[in-house]
Amino acid sequence: MRSVRSLAVVVVTTVLMLSVLASFGAAASQKPFHLKKTCVSDVLCTVVSSSFKEIPGGTDITYVNGAGGLAYPSIVTRNGSTTGVCNWNQPPGPVLAKCTFGTGSGRLTQFHLAVDVTFDGIYWFWDGTYWMGGGD
């Protein structure tokens, strides 16, 4: 009876360890993200350059302005789309907003993005990290 219990403990421990290792393996590594864009209004911007090849220069980013300093950007490329939220309620400083994107469609199905928004007087910049895979 003692060996059956010992075997059960070993099996349960092994299953738990494999589950933990699988979740670490599934977690995607974050990569640096940089995007430069121009805006013709507060609802339409165009990407000038991006470090993420699935959001190339020429891609439009459209915004729906919400209440309480929130804006909801949408990015539509020929290979997929994603939407996010930008929070403009930031303390005074160079970072004007923080934007986050969850999963989208097509090649952006498991795309996640977290960026700070800055402005140099001509161009708007998104700098932060992106990752592909499950989880926020």
User: What does the domain layout of the chain look like in residue ranges?
Assistant: 29-132
Question: What long-range pairs does 88-95 form, CB within 8 A, spacing at least 24?
Answer: 94/118
Pairing of strands 105-106, 111-119: unpaired
SS3 label, residue 21: helix
State residue 24's pLDDT score: 39
The amino acid that residue 125 corresponds to is F
CA dist., res. 49 & res. 23, Å (int): 34
Residues 6+ apart with CB under 8 A from 77: 54, 55, 56, 59, 106, 107, 108
CA dist., res. 49 & res. 129, Å (int): 16
State residue 35's pLDDT score: 98
The amino acid that residue 85 corresponds to is V
Tens place of pLDDT per residue across the chain (136 aa): 454 344 333 333 333 233 333 333 445 699 999 999 999 999 999 999 999 999 999 999 999 999 999 999 999 999 899 999 999 999 999 999 999 999 899 999 999 999 999 999 999 999 999 999 876 5
